[in-house]
Amino acid sequence: MLDIKNLQVKAEGKQILKGIDLHVNAGEVHAIMGPNGSGKSTLARALSGHPEYEVTGGEVLFEGHDLLDMDPDERARAGVFMAFQYPVEIAGVNNAYFLKAALNAKRKHNGQAELDAMEFMQLIKEKSALLDIDQSMLSRAVNEGFSGGEKKRNEIFQMALLEPKLAILDETDSGLDIDALKLVAKGVNAMRTPDRAIIVVTHYQRLLDYIVPDFVHVLTGGRIVKSGGKELALELEKRGYGWLEGDAQPVGAK
């Protein structure tokens, strides 16, 4: 589904990613771990097309298409979803209205009819129960005045509505208490299907107790230095990242 080859990315004039190789198949959950400043979030943002991240080399194929050639909204409509580390507050835009616009943008792209108000509310009702989204979160402006936990739940809620082919969670667990973390994990696990891939970018192993990955990759210094199964996360929990930082050889994922 996703093929990243020798991806190099600059942010604020600094080379952050120095050659990432990663292959993700449908049905897989990959965790990207690494210390602060390693480039984890840069990878997530570059994949979503954030304008402040400049790709200086390499290529990314999504279902065989050149992802880097697509605008951020084209990527989204094609089925790539990024859950933001810092969801943006948008004053004056009602959350439900925003969700409907996003959903219909995608439906239009897929040649489906736009949902009317009734169908939309029905869908909202169905998906909101899973993430404990209450009515007030829908009627307020997008993310405005939301607590940290509410913002992250709102991200996963959007993911549940938009049903992407590839979901990238950018430190969705940061700042969450254990109850919110469990809710978010429940939402993500409900979306694990054989035709969907999920990339979980996280600083902490804790999230991976609840979203158990198929593969774990360690990113330090802009390169993936180690890849393994879920047991790698546990090893990192015990040993930290220090023992890997000397190892600057790029290691391709499976």
Residue placing its CB nearer to other proteins in the complex, 197 or 225: 197
Q: Is 106 in the site for other proteins (CB under 8 A)?
A: yes
Q: Is 93 in the site for other proteins (CB under 8 A)?
A: yes
- Do 201 and 32 meet the contact criterion of CB atoms below 8 Å apart? yes
What's the full length of the chain, in residues? 254
Q: Is 227 in the site for other proteins (CB under 8 A)?
A: no
Q: Is 69 in the site for other proteins (CB under 8 A)?
A: no
Which residue from 16, 24, 84, 216 is in contact with other proteins, where contact means CB under 8 A?
84
Q: Is 92 in the site for other proteins (CB under 8 A)?
A: yes
User: What distance in Å separates the CA atoms of residue 148 and residue 151, rounded to the nearest whole number?
Assistant: 5
Residue placing its CB nearer to other proteins in the complex, 98 or 210: 98
Q: Name residue 224's beta-bridge partners.
A: 219
Helices (H), ranges, 21-175: 40-48, 72-78, 95-109, 117-131, 135-139, 148-162
Between helix 95-109 and helix 148-162 the angle, nearest 10°, is 30
Residue placing its CB nearer to other proteins in the complex, 101 or 248: 101
Residues interacting with other proteins, by CB under 8 A? 48-51, 71-73, 75-77, 81-82, 84, 87-88, 90-93, 98, 101-102, 105-106, 109, 141, 158, 162
